């Protein structure tokens, strides 16, 4: 097999890599090329990967410590976990209206003090059309800001809290303390500055809450303009991994969620404290 890195999928990022079997252990050379592509394009698509949940976990281990999907030591610990639109009886359910759902722009687990480096999804069952995932490049969005805005937001800290967005505290059903992260974070590998915000970003430390929420709202609108977005249209057995440090993402509710099944396997690799 010869690993092939395709052309960039959009101005905002993304690249497809073929000629590699992710179910097998990864040799040093393909691993280095995948890491380089991930650094340069932020979203890597591996089409036609047949992987068990255990094999996906094994692939994710190449990039760091994988967050457990169950209790430590449990049978389901070292596997990718299942995300779907199915209820406990296996029937499709429309949850797109949930204010804490994946349909709002977010970066994974931003309310954690050490949010993840990357997330990967493997497409198992898809609706006949739709069910896309969109990614917004927050390095490009930061770079496009006016110098005056860059100066105004330099050094600001965002208060992240699960279930809290834009100053509207909703369904605070999780008793987790808020955490502060820099609004402008530095990518640890490239040194690029990126906006860090989205759902679960509540307000700005030291600013009246409504004012901070308004600043976050304006920046989110800017960061998710079409020119900064790559929309991934899934095919069965795509594995997509993305960089949570410089991207926002959301699931798109563009299929009949009450009718069609959408099942993905997810792995999350631990990151470092944003700076």
243 lies in the site for Fe ion, by CB under 5 A: no
By C-beta, is 134 or 179 nearer to Fe ion?
A: 134
Taking the C-alpha atoms of residue 202 and residue 120, their distance in angstroms, rounded to an integer, is 26
Q: How far is the CB of 77 from Fe ion (least distance, A)?
A: 21
Q: How far is the CB of 29 from Fe ion (least distance, A)?
A: 31
By C-beta, is 85 or 102 nearer to Fe ion?
A: 102
Between residue 103 and residue 162, which ones bind Fe ion under the rule CB under 5 A? 108
Pattern 198-237, Fe ion, x by CB under 5 A: ----------------------------------------
Burial class (CB in 10 A: 0-12, 13-18, 19+), 173: exposed
Closest alpha carbon to 115 in 39, 173, 196: 196
DSSP states of 96-140: TT-TTSTTS-B-TTTTSSS--SEEEEEEEE--SS---EEEEEHHH
- Indicate the SS3 state at residue 61: helix
Q: How far is the CB of 244 from Fe ion (least distance, A)?
A: 8
Closest alpha carbon to 53 in 232, 256, 239: 239
Q: How far is the CB of 85 from Fe ion (least distance, A)?
A: 14
Between residue 52 and residue 111, which ones bind Fe ion under the rule CB under 5 A? 102, 108
By C-beta, is 153 or 201 nearer to Fe ion?
A: 201
Q: How far is the CB of 241 from Fe ion (least distance, A)?
A: 13
Structure tokens at 160: 């992240």
Residue 141 parent element (H or E): helix 138-143
| Residue ranges that bind Fe ion, judged by CB under 5 A | 102, 108
């Amino acid at each position: 097999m010869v690993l092939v890195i395709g052309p960039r999928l959009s101005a905002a990022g993304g690249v497809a890599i073929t000629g590699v079997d992710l179910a097998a252990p990864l040799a040093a050379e393909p691993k280095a090329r995948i890491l380089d592509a991930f650094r340069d394009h932020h979203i890597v698509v591996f089409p036609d990967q047949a992987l068990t949940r255990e094999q996906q976990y094994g692939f994710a281990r190449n990039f760091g410590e994988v967050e457990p999907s169950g209790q430590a030591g449990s049978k389901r610990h070292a596997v990718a976990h299942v995300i779907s639109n199915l209820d406990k009886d296996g029937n499709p359910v429309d949850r797109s209206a949930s204010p804490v759902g994946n349909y709002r722009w977010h970066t994974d687990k931003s309310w954690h003090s050490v949010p993840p480096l990357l997330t990967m999804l493997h497409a198992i069952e898809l609706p006949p059309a739709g069910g896309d995932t969109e990614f917004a490049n927050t390095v490009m969005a930061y770079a496009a800001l006016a110098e005056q805005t860059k100066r105004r937001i330099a050094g600001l800290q965002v208060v992240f809290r699960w279930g809290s967005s834009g100053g509207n505290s909703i369904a605070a059903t999780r008793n987790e303390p808020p955490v502060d992260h820099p609004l402008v974070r530095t990518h640890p590998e490239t040194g690029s500055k990126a906006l860090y915000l989205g759902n679960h970003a509540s307000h700005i430390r030291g600013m009246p809450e409504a004012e901070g929420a308004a600043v976050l709202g304006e920046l989110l609108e800017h960061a998710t303009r079409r020119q900064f977005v790559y929309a991934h249209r899934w095919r069965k057995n795509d594995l997509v991994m993305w960089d949570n440090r410089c991207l926002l993402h959301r699931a798109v509710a563009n299929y009949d969620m009450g009718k069609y099944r959408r099942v993905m396997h997810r792995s999350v690799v631990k990151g470092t404290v944003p700076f």
